[in-house]
Amino acid sequence: MFQPVQKIHTLILNSPEALTVNCQGSGEALSRASTSLGKLVKTLAEVESRNDKRAAGATETTDLKGKLVEYLWHLKKQGYKESTIKTHTNYLKWLIRIGANLLDAENVKEAIATLQVEEATKRTMANVYNSFSKYYGIEWVPPRYYGKQSLPFIPLEREIDDLIACSGKKLSTLLQLLKETGMRIGEALELKWTDIDFERKVVKVEPEKRSNPRVLKISDKLINMFNLLPKRDVKIFGGRQKMRNFQTLLFTARTKAAVRLQNPRLKLITFHTIRHWKGTMEYHKTKDIIHVKNILGHKSINNTMIYINLEQALFNETQEEFHVKVAYNLEEACKLLEAGFEYVTDIGGVKVFRKRK
């Protein structure tokens, strides 16, 4: 039996039962937290003195609540994002709720093993506790859990357009922005009016999740939609704290649209679904994985490679027609690549390139 521990009141940022693990890390579920990190940090300033004592070699406090507070404050000082700290808070709180003793690694391992949840959830929980145990020097050999890999749902373009048409002014503008740029929902919610160049029709994306910043083209249609929105705040959509509001709006809009249009697939569309759609379509149009990587802001091309698989599965065109060109030297090959041709093979001492008609 697990030993009961003291209930934590001031650290609860969200209910773990409501937590949905997103393998892509969009952070949508984590936004449901009701207590701001700023308030948490403000009330925990006293932890600094405890840290000083700890650094001087003092014994660790036996108060589990205090240890948890100290650990979260450590993450804050190390520069971790608020969403990451909320994730750690939620999972550590979850362990406490099921009776796990955070100071006993084997007890924690047993608690995780008995949970009736997906392996991906267990893996995330184990990773969180791994960080906690390292901070306190608790010996722990992490269990091995493997999340099930699956390809994301990719809607048709007309299905995204149907959802946009069935949404209110602000939600429809947000969805159109995601469709045209492929940005993450967190990036979109943090967008400021000054990030939009209405004359050049581009939007500047400040990255999240250690991605790359980028500048992306947007359409006249989206520019007009932006112009219909009130400009009362600095941030167009109010910031990440409005995530839950927009999730509710999306749930309502897609439910109504699915009933009205008799298309249950509309209920599967999420904010991150549209990012996957954009990545897939950009690769289909260009066959340039580096271009897709730059559009989506990925640091590593490994995160982008999934769109090759998705494109091949969704557009298995057996009767494709191509323009074919050959290059006899490096200069000719470079010109063909600049014109959008892709290298195929070497034949008879020349390089063969092709481009879809």
For residue 29, pLDDT beyond 90? no
Alpha-helical runs (H) found in 287-348? 289-296, 306-314, 330-338
pLDDT the model gives residue 265:
97
State residue 134 phi and psi, 5-degree precision: -65, -40
pLDDT the model gives residue 23:
38
Supply the mean pLDDT for the chain. Answer: 83
CA distance 341 to 322: 10
For residue 58, pLDDT beyond 70? no
pLDDT the model gives residue 325:
85
Evaluated on CA atoms 210, 211, 212, 214, the torsion sign reads negative
For residue 274, pLDDT beyond 90? yes
CA distance 254 to 261: 10
Structure tokens belonging to residue 115: 């949970």
- pLDDT tens digits, 183-207: 999 999 999 999 999 999 999 999 8
- DSSP line for 226-293: HHTS---SSBSS--GGGHHHHHHHHHHHHHHHHHHTT-GGGGG--HHHHHHHHHHHHHHHH--HHHHH
For residue 37, pLDDT beyond 60? no
CA distance 154 to 13: 32
> With bands split at pLDDT 50, 70 and 90, how would you rate the model's confidence at 355?
confident
pLDDT the model gives residue 301:
87
Spatial CB neighbours of 298, under 8 Å, sequence gap ≥ 6: 211, 212, 304
For residue 230, pLDDT beyond 90? yes
- pLDDT tens digits, 279-323: 999 999 998 889 999 999 998 888 898 998 888 888 875 456 677
Tokens 């090959």 sit on residue: 333
Query: Quick check: 10 and 45 in contact, CB under 8 A?
Result: no
> With bands split at pLDDT 50, 70 and 90, how would you rate the model's confidence at 38?
low
Q: Which residues of the chain does CATH 1.10.443.10 include?
A: 157-314
pLDDT the model gives residue 317:
55
pLDDT the model gives residue 324:
81
Percent of the chain topping pLDDT 90 = 55
Pairing of strands 342-347, 322-327: unpaired
Three-state SS for 42?
helix
Query: Quick check: 60 and 54 in contact, CB under 8 A?
Result: yes
- pLDDT tens digits, 89-145: 999 999 999 999 999 999 999 999 999 998 889 999 999 999 999 999 999 999 988
Tokens 């989506």 sit on residue: 296
Single-letter code of the amino acid located at 162: D
CA distance 108 to 99: 9
pLDDT the model gives residue 8:
42
Structure tokens belonging to residue 263: 């298309």
pLDDT the model gives residue 343:
85
pTM of the model: 0.63
CA distances for 272 relative to 26, 31, 154, 286, 351, angstroms: 7, 14, 10, 22, 40
CATH topology of domain 157-314: hpI Integrase; Chain A (1.10.443)
CA distance 153 to 269: 8
Spatial CB neighbours of 136, under 8 Å, sequence gap ≥ 6: 60, 67, 71, 103
CA distances for 355 relative to 89, 286, 336, 342, angstroms: 51, 9, 9, 6
Query: By C-alpha distance, which of 47, 33, 128 is closest to 82?
Result: 33
Query: Quick check: 52 and 31 in contact, CB under 8 A?
Result: no
CA distance 338 to 355: 12
CB-CB neighbours of 70 under 10 Å: 20
